[in-house]
Structure 1
């Protein structure tokens, strides 16, 4: 009989927790959290970028885990390649930021990554899908695909992106972007 009571208590706790979760107005945010909101908001505003795009890229790149360095050497939350980071630091005029800071300090990494996204957005006339692809594959490759007609740069034709890794990356970023914009009414 004791085990039956324990099962009932556990069932009641589960039902209660589930009811609270689903009755909460923002229950989906539990499954799709956004960390570093203040930093993303600040730097997105500074560089005129969509904060949901920045958050989606961070989610796909590192799932908000700091201190990451990829096998290829990409650094921090937004996984900036060292050569790209050096170039962006010079162009963005952020001389007090080092590569080590980009790896360990979320705000510095988000700032430079957001600046770089803004730069890509200007290069691709605000085409969000092309910007996402360029963030992963590099702007030169994406321009080449567009010029050669391999891909038209639209979300509807992501399946035509020549590189499987970039195709998958764009699909994942768009997925999280859509989730974030649906779940969070404002950033």
Structure 2
């Protein structure tokens, strides 16, 4: 009798766990645009879960999103970054409205993450701070003892929005890895 009760409780817990995971995957932490995310994260050797975390944080998967600073699309690409990236990846004709195209936005976002990864030697905090606050600012902070003790890591991010952004993307990244990396 006691064994049956314990078994029933365990079954309920297991069902509840998988139910929560299913809800999280379908509604809170979805994996839309998987074809483009997988294709370009592989092409640019970026973790697809990081791409998902950036998209979740930047636009919450709204391909028509526009920020206060006029960043566009899923990965919130600035017009100047889009123009620069388009030249680098061989797109001869670029217009900012093209950033609303999900495939191109993800392609440019993955290219940009790889560019930042190379610039900041795979340091995730620096990559994300640069994605949000600009690589010029991150380089300034690294050379300022108020923000970096060793010139290689940030001890303090002076832009509150950027600090919050880095923390949020890292949290989303860990959740995506947990939910999908099984």
TM-score (norm 2): 0.82
Answer whether contact 1:66 1:77 (CA < 8 A) is retained.
yes
1:54 paired to 2:14 = no
Aligned length: 165
SS of 2:116's equivalent in the other structure is helix
Deviations 1:10-67 (A, max 9, x none): xxxxxxxx98553459434233212111110100001111111111000000000111
Aligned equivalent of 1:78, options 75, 79, 95: 75
Match of residue 37 from structure 1:
34
SS of 1:148's equivalent in the other structure is coil
Superposed, which structure 2 residues align to 1:81-100 within 5 Å?
81-100=78-97
Superposed, which structure 2 residues align to 1:1-187 within 5 Å?
20=15, 22-24=17-19, 26-27=21-22, 28-30=24-26, 31-103=28-100, 105-149=101-145, 150-151=147-148, 154=153, 157=155, 160-185=156-181
**C-alpha deviation, 1:71, in angstroms:** 2.1
Answer whether contact 1:151 1:161 (CA < 8 A) is retained.
no
- Structure with larger RCO (C-alpha < 8 A, sep 6+): 1
* Unaligned runs of at least 5 residues, structure 2: 1-12
* Unaligned runs of at least 5 residues, structure 1: 1-17
- When the two chains are superposed, the root-mean-square deviation of aligned CA atoms in Å is 2.2
TM-score (norm 1): 0.80
